[in-house]
Structure 1
Amino acid sequence: MEPQLRREHRERMLRLERQHEDRLRERAARGQRNELVTGAVIALAMLGGAVYMAPVNGWLSALLCGPSLLALVKVFVLRRSDPDDMRAVSLAGRLASNAAVQVQQPPPAPQQPPGV
């Protein structure tokens, strides 16, 4: 009788281990879906904000559609961020800020030559 009990115990333990592994796989799949949905929502929100802001502030629209969009989606979907991504985001921010400052400054008045 004892060998039979050992076999049943071993089978039961293997079944429990498989169930545990299945649950872990399901959790991982659910987590990946959540990350994908979060990344999609952020991307759509940033694109929508860019379209909404385009007539008002073109530079802000460009900032929302540029590398920052790609960097954020990469962080949420792939769960990683490279230093090159952050450099691209900061460069795009600086360029957009410079463009905004140039647009806001009035052009210099044309000067008449002396003696006219």
Structure 2
Amino acid sequence: MAEELGTEPAHRPSALDIAAQWAQLPAEHLAVALAALDPQLAREHELRMQAERARERAELERLQSERVEQQRAHRRHVLGISAALTVALATLGASLYFGTHDHPVLAVTFFGPTLLALVKIFALQRSDPDDMKHVAAAAKRAASAVPPPPP
């Protein structure tokens, strides 16, 4: 009844408890007790072995999922580094192109804080709020440093 209500679980005596009780009886009864004890010990052993195998399977699955997650994280990191390198080379190339074709504002915009902000986003996978402020300030400085076109 206690098991059904969910209160205290009923205490099941182990095979050794049973053997201790039977040891107090005469030798004929002890032989019967040991014969009855063998299947109980085998059942308890099998239950312990099943529990141990289940625990080992759970641990193996946990380790395998951790390994898969580490592989995914490594792939994301390598992809981020590759993207950062691509962005860095593209912005440096664009800066060089615009710098040699008389577009200094665009050359400065692609170089400097913009380059650093984009590489930081891809390589470190984070961005600070000040990054865009630095980019905007650099663009303003570049625009104010360029002389106006002749009329």
TM (norm. structure 1) is: 0.82
- Listed as ranges, the matches of 1:24-39 within 5 Å are 24-39=69-84
2:91 aligned residue (43, 46, 64):
46
Match of 2:66 in 1: 21
Is 1:72 the counterpart of 2:118? The answer is yes
Deviations, residues 80-113 of structure 1 (Å, cap 9, x unaligned) = 222222111101111122233x24145xxxxxxx
Please give the alpha-carbon distance, in whole angstroms, between the structure 1 residues aligned to 2:116 and 2:73.
24
Distance apart, 1:55 and its partner CA: 1.6
Distance 1:24 1:83 in 2: 30
Partner of 1:63: 109
Distance in 1 separating the partners of 2:96 and 2:123: 23
SS of equivalent residue, structure 2 residue 127: coil
Pair 1:87–1:62, CA change in 2 (3 A): same
Task: Give aligned-pair identity as a percent.
Answer: 35
- Quote the residue 2:51 is aligned against: 6
More relative contact order, 1 or 2 (CA 8 Å, 6+ apart): 1
Q: Paired residues, what number?
A: 105
Task: Give the superposition deviation at 1:77.
Answer: 1.4
Q: CA deviation at 1:65?
A: 1.0
Question: Which residue does the alignment assign to 2:12?
Answer: none
Task: Report the aligned-residue RMSD.
Answer: 1.4
2:141 aligned residue (80, 95, 107): 95
| Equivalent position SS for 2:100 | coil
What is the Cα deviation at residue 61 of structure 1? 1.2
